[in-house]
Amino acid sequence: MQKREIRETNSIFQQPWWLDAVAPGEWDEVIVRHGGRVVGRLPYVKKRRWGLEYISMPPLTQTLGPWIEKKEAKLPKILAWQKDIMTELIKGLPHFDYFGQNFHYEITNWLPFYWCGFEESTRYTYVLLDIADHDKVWSGFLENIRREIKKAGRQVRVRTDLGLARFLEVNKKTFSRQGIRLPYSPELVQCIDTACGDENRRIFFAEDSAGRIHAALYIIWDERSAYYLMGGGDPELRNSGATSLLMWEAIKFSSTVTKRFDFEGSMVESIERFFRAFGGIQMPYFRVSKATAFFKMLRCVRQGMRECFKRG
């Protein structure tokens, strides 16, 4: 396996090898150097569609946004430092008709982007900030989650040796139940799986005595945090509590390789309710965007056409 290029980042999603997997040939980055030292990075993925230039999030990638070297100083100087670096990063971006990125929750200051005409909406994830103490993590779970874990433990066993193809079978069932196509290709997931390897991913399965897979869960990690990336379950076996059990097993395993566990959040109410029940801290993160006047006009035209088609 070719040696990876590792850089200072807020998360695994900003690493060059991750971007090579999810957006091969489509990503680049703005880099700011002071005295030959990299003090800021802004990776981005750029695509062209309908004659327009898009900078957007690649699939299965929770956050991108800027990374800025931390500075030991008084708060006013830190904020001035962030402003200077972010302004340089923004100036280094290529032309775009639309820009939309999710920033990591550690980026709490987006003012320099606002001053450059960007907009922001807030999203949320849930993070267990310290997963080393299993008893403490367990005590933070809501009672219904603890009951489900105990219930599932009597019905299924946890395996990690069934492979990616079996995971995708289970993963697809979750979307099929909702009448939704798989929002990413198996080829993309294979690229991610190959890039991560055993160093940065683990797949968990809950299997009963009849060999039926109740649920499956896919996590990735770096030295800072583990991330719930994908999951799925058999709609006919949803009441076994297997997903809760796998989440608990994933958290315990993650404590052997990293410090935190990020549920990756969701703005879907039912999914948010499930993640919240594991006792993580609610962490807001920014969705920062900007669109040209021409792009906004086209979007309005498209929305108007959709409304016309709906009305018949």
Q: Going residue by residue through the chain (312 aa), what tens digit of pLDDT does each one get? A: 455 677 789 999 999 999 999 999 999 999 999 998 999 999 999 999 888 999 999 999 999 999 999 989 999 999 999 999 999 999 999 999 999 999 999 999 999 999 999 999 999 999 999 999 999 999 999 999 999 999 999 999 999 999 999 999 999 988 887 788 888 999 999 999 999 999 999 999 999 999 999 999 999 999 999 999 999 999 999 889 999 999 999 999 999 999 999 998 788 888 899 999 999 999 999 999 999 988 888 777 766 656 655 555
Angle at 157 between CA 152 and CA 163, to 5 degrees: 120
Assess if residue 6 is contained within a domain.
no
Q: Are residues 295 and 251 in the same domain?
A: no
For residue 185 the two structure tokens come to 């290709």
Residues 240 and 275 in one domain: yes
**What's the 3-state SS for 142-161?**
CHHHHHHHHHHHCCEEEECC
Write down the pLDDT at residue 305.
54
* Same domain flag for 119 and 161: no
Q: Residue 197 domain-assigned?
A: yes
Output DSSP code: residue 212.
-
Specify whether 22 is located in the same domain as 77.
yes
Domain limits at 272? 130-279
Instruction: Judge if 110 and 191 occupy the same domain.
Output: no
Q: Let me know if residue 5 belongs to a domain.
A: no
CATH number at residue 202: 3.40.630.30
Give one word for 60, left, alpha or beta, with left for phi > 0 and alpha for psi -120 to 50.
left
Q: Are residues 149 and 114 in the same domain?
A: no
pLDDT at 4: 66
Q: How confident is the model at residue 1, as a pLDDT?
A: 44
The model's pTM: 0.91
Q: Do residues 234 and 142 both lie within one domain?
A: yes
CA pair distance 90, 93, nearest whole angstrom: 5
- The three-class DSSP label of residue 110 is coil
Residue 4 lies in a domain: no
Q: Is residue 16 located within the same domain as residue 110? A: yes
Contacts of 142 (CB under 8 A, 6+ apart): 277, 278, 279
pLDDT for 159: 97
Whether residue 171 sits in one domain with residue 248: yes
User: Tell me, what's the pLDDT at 75?
Assistant: 95
pLDDT of residue 176: 82
pLDDT at site 102: 97
- CB of 42 closer than 8 Å to CB of 34: no
The answer on 229 and 291 residing in a single domain is no
> How many CB atoms sit inside 10 A of residue 271's CB?
13
Domain shared by 155 and 264, yes or no: yes
